[in-house]
Amino acid sequence: MDRLLEMQTFCTVVEAGSFVAASENLGMSKAAVSRYVSELESRLGVRLLQRTTRRLSLTGEGEVFYVRCRELLAGVEEAEAEITSRNDVARGTLRVNAPVSFGISHLAPLWGEFHARYPDVELSIDLSDRLVDIVEEGFDLAIRIATLQSSTLVSRRITSTRLIACASPDYVATHGAPSKPEDLASHRIIGYSNFTTGNDWPFEGPDGSISARVRPWMYANNGETCCAAAVVGQGIVLQPGFLVHKDLEAGRLVELMPDYRSTELGVYAVYPTRKFVTPKVRALVDYLVSAFPDSL
């Protein structure tokens, strides 16, 4: 039996979360998918997946084998792409991870045009606000909105956005507006649980950098949820401009503490460090850079 096909089938089952979904992704029957995985386990002499009626999960051996399989399959894909790239044709499945709100509001409208330019590229878009390991989880590229730290990944800036502290006019009328970051300690705060700085909100003011410790009454791991709560007067949020600009323009939110600016975040395309960048990845990165303005 083809060992690479066994590995590909096993990895697809893990990533799809079920044999049925994997069979659809691979274009083969559920019975064939199950047979490939069962024969792989039999040949290795270990159980790779725990199967219940509700879900699949990796065993300890399965976790180790999945990581190694992903590395090997990525190497095969890279070798094939290096040969075919002599024609510089972007083709194949392109797995992209992106934050939920940004993926819906700013990336989704672009996918149709990208596909029209590169019809041989099949897009697989995964939206998640958690920080994925793009190598271990088999992504070709991820979009990250952050102040990037040193990394083994290659990154290219697409655009930037600024965090803005804001609240609804009703909230300001009822509770008043903070004039400086220290005032936030006495206000109702809607916290974003994925902030790398936690409950410390950074600002640059007339006297330099300042970090304000806030005490949120609620947290959400999605920026749109935070903004929706702020619009109906539930508190103050610190969210990126691309999320709040329409509410600010419409007057549903007002910017607070205009003398204090918060962090400028880059929007980056990140992908694994490799000597060779596949044409499909290069095509998408170039397209995204050209599609966005300098800042949002």
Q: What does the pLDDT read at residue 146?
A: 86
Question: Is-contact 277 248, C-beta < 8 A?
Answer: no
Residue type, 165: A
Indicate the pLDDT class of residue 267, thresholds 50, 70 and 90.
very high
How many alpha carbons lie under 13 Å from residue 147 in its C-beta half-sphere?
9
List Cβ<8 Å contacts ≥24 apart for 44-51: 48/10, 49/13, 49/14
Overall average pLDDT of the 140-166 stretch: 87
What does the pLDDT look like over 135-152, one tens digit per residue? Answer: 888 899 999 998 876 566
Q: How long a stretch of residues is the chain?
A: 296
Q: Taking 70 as the threshold, does the pLDDT of residue 1 lie above it?
A: no
Q: What does the pLDDT read at residue 74?
A: 80
Question: Is-contact 8 73, C-beta < 8 A?
Answer: yes
CA distances from 252 to 165, 171, 228 (A): 13, 11, 10
* CA–CA separation, 114 and 99 (whole Å): 19
Name residue, tokens 């006495």: 186
User: Left if phi > 0, otherwise alpha if psi is -120 to 50, otherwise beta: which for 138?
Assistant: left
* CA–CA separation, 168 and 76 (whole Å): 53
- Sign of the four-CA dihedral 15, 19, 24, 29: positive
Name 121's bridge partners: 92
What does the pLDDT look like over 56-71, one tens digit per residue? Answer: 899 999 999 999 998 8
Overall average pLDDT of the 281-286 stretch: 94
What does the pLDDT look like over 13-41, one tens digit per residue? Answer: 998 888 998 998 888 899 999 999 999 99
Q: Where in the chain is the domain with CATH 1.10.10.10?
A: 1-85
Q: What does the pLDDT read at residue 85?
A: 57
Name residue, tokens 């600024």: 162
% residues pLDDT > 70 (the chain): 94
- Residue (of 141, 92, 157) closest to 118 by Cα position: 92
Q: How does 7-22 read in b/e, with b if 16+ C-beta sit within 10 Å?
A: bbbbbbbbbbeebeeb
Indicate the pLDDT class of residue 52, thresholds 50, 70 and 90.
confident
* CA–CA separation, 183 and 26 (whole Å): 56
Q: What does the pLDDT read at residue 270?
A: 93
Distance of CA 256 to the CA centre of its chain: 28
Q: What does the pLDDT read at residue 187?
A: 98
- Sign of the four-CA dihedral 226, 227, 228, 230: positive
What does the pLDDT look like over 75-126, one tens digit per residue? Answer: 787 777 666 555 678 889 999 999 999 999 999 999 999 999 999 999 999 9
Q: Where in the chain is the domain with CATH 3.40.190.290?
A: 161-265
What does the pLDDT look like over 168-184, one tens digit per residue? Answer: 999 999 999 999 999 99
Indicate the pLDDT class of residue 154, thresholds 50, 70 and 90.
confident
Selected from 1.10.8.100, 1.10.10.10, 1.20.1050.10, 2.60.40.10, the CATH number assigned to the domain covering 1-85 reads 1.10.10.10
Selected from 3.30.1490.70, 2.40.10.230, 2.60.40.10, 3.40.190.290, the CATH number assigned to the domain covering 161-265 reads 3.40.190.290
CB atoms within 10 A of CB 78: 17
Q: What does the pLDDT read at residue 210?
A: 94
Structure tokens at 98: 């992106």
User: Left if phi > 0, otherwise alpha if psi is -120 to 50, otherwise beta: which for 208?
Assistant: left
